[in-house]
Amino acid sequence: MFGLFRSSVLVCLLLGLPASAFAQEVGASVDAVATEAAAGADSRRARVQGDETFLAGHTCIAPGPVADTGPIVCEARINPVLPPFYFDIAWHMDAEMDERVIDTVSIRRQGENEPFQSFSDVGSSVVPQIEHNGFETIDVNFDGYLDFRLLAQTTAGPNTLYRNWLWSEEEMHFVESAPLDAIVSPEFDADTQEIVSRWRSSAAEGGIDIYIWEEGKPVLIHRETDRYSGEGQCTRLFYDRIGGRLEQTGEGACS
């Protein structure tokens, strides 16, 4: 959005528009952008199913001593209309990497002995100091049902990856989400219905990506990339989704 603003300034300067005309144009442009953004957020909220105010958490019981290879057991209620679920997380220690590797996740309903769903080849391997391999229940797609995720790997830097499973109200079970798995360090804003990803590709480049959900998949709609030169200067590039593609819309100094 800042890039579009700078573009408007440049056009007006080139055309020699009077200051009053420029101010009116900028004000109208800002109002239009704000109105469009608010309408988009309202539209996304209107598509929410279930109880979007439900904020239940989860509890986990970890194995005892290091030698105990019993499963991690977590209890969570993902929606008021559904019974509590129990997540039995089987694992083993990778002696070479000294990491706890998740083998399977089996999910059963309260009062039932057999799981109604199981996942293998989970793809979660982290140091044992991270509790429960980062198991968490969170509404990642803003539909009023809590989903669950595990850390994919141990990371020392800012680019944290997760393995995500989303609850499908239609199918009444969890489904994997490879597109969401690929988003680093996702933060979920229920008010704007957006996913914010703060990433770094190198010591000289990092940025912020913003996604929204469309047809069950996260779609990148905005990016800001900060690039640092050898002289310590920083340039910020702005990108927006236009016509289904991410296009550069502006450039300026980092704030």
Backbone angles phi, psi at 19, to 5 degrees: -60, -40
**Bigger pLDDT: 232 vs 119:** 119
Do 164 and 214 lie in one domain? The reply is no
* 101-154 residue pLDDT tens: 999 999 999 999 999 999 999 999 999 999 999 999 999 999 999 999 999 999
Nearest one of 26, 22, 46, 23 to 34, comparing CA atoms: 26
- The answer on pLDDT for 14 being more than 60 is no
Angle between helices 2-15 and 19-46 (to 10 degrees): 160
d(CA 120, CA 157): 27
Contact status, residue 25 vs residue 15, Cβ threshold 8 Å? no
**Residue 29 belongs to some domain of the structure:** no
Band (43; pLDDT cuts 50, 70, 90): low
Do 230 and 122 lie in one domain? The reply is no
Do 131 and 204 lie in one domain? The reply is no
* 187-219 residue pLDDT tens: 999 999 999 999 999 999 999 999 999 999 999
* 235-248 residue pLDDT tens: 999 999 999 999 99
User: pTM to 2 decimals?
Assistant: 0.76
Do 210 and 173 lie in one domain? The reply is no
* pLDDT for 66: 57
Band (65; pLDDT cuts 50, 70, 90): low
Lowest mean pLDDT among 40-49, 59-68, 167-176, 215-224: 40-49
* pLDDT for 15: 36
d(CA 195, CA 186): 6
User: Of 184, 213, 236, which marks where a domain is finished?
Assistant: 184
Amino acid at 5: F
Domain count, the chain: 2
User: Of 164, 184, 204, which marks where a domain is finished?
Assistant: 184
Which residues does 156 contact at the CB level (< 8 Å), separation at least 6? none
* 70-85 residue pLDDT tens: 899 999 999 999 999 9
Mean residue pLDDT of the chain comes to 83
The helix/strand/coil state of 177 is coil
Band (64; pLDDT cuts 50, 70, 90): low
> Across residues 32-38, what is the average pLDDT?
47
**Residue 26 belongs to some domain of the structure:** no
* pLDDT for 222: 99
**Residue 35 belongs to some domain of the structure:** no
**Residue 39 belongs to some domain of the structure:** no
- What domain range is 104 assigned to? 52-184
User: Of 138, 157, 184, which marks where a domain is finished?
Assistant: 184
Q: What is the DSSP annotation of 181-213?
A: HTSSSEEEETTTTEEEEEEEEETTEEEEEEEEE
